Amino acid sequence: SQTIHQWPATLVQPVGSPLSLECTVEGTSNPNLYWYRQAAGRGLQLLFYSVGIGQISSEVPQNLSASRPQDRQFILSSKKLLLSDSGFYLCAWSRRGVLGYTFGSGTRLTVV
């Protein structure tokens, strides 16, 4: 069966510090991978998606970047965090040609 792991679950970081959130998928190959941010427990905003290794598409200009160094690994990064980067970050995967996403359990990031 397929599983998705996302860590850490919670993170408190000072303004100006770097960020690295990691997401890995098991039990499937060549998944589509996504990073979302969810504000105040409401709607989801797509940040990045990837259809393959090294292929990253950005949906909104921001202080964040993403990388996919391996087929089932997706990393969200920042060189210098801003207060506005606080939020609930969700990684998700989908199988090509199949509708529906599977989400990780999320990372609650608080920038102080």
Partner 1 sequence: TQLLEQSPQFLSIQEGENLTVYCNSSSVFSSLQWYRQEPGEGPVLLVTVVTGGEVKKLKRLTFQFGDARKDSSLHITAAQPGDTGLYLCAGERSAGNNRKLIWGLGTSLAVNP
Q: Tell me how far, at minimum, the Cβ of 52 lies from partner 1, in Å.
A: 13
For partner 1, the closer of residues 51 and 82 by Cβ is: 51
- Name the residue among 105, 60, 63, 107 with its Cα closest to residue 85: 63
CA angle 56, 71, 60 (to 5 degrees): 20
- Name the residue among 60, 55, 51, 52 with its Cα closest to residue 85: 60
> Scanning residues 35 to 94, which ones bind partner 1 (CB under 8 A)?
41-46, 90, 92
Part in contact with partner 1 (CB under 8 A); list of ranges 14-22, 62-70, 74-82, 104-112: 104-112
Per residue, what are the HEC states of 55-69? EEEECCCCCCEEEEE
95 binds partner 1 (CB under 8 A): no
Contact footprint for partner 1 (CB under 8 A): 6, 41-46, 90, 92, 99-106, 108
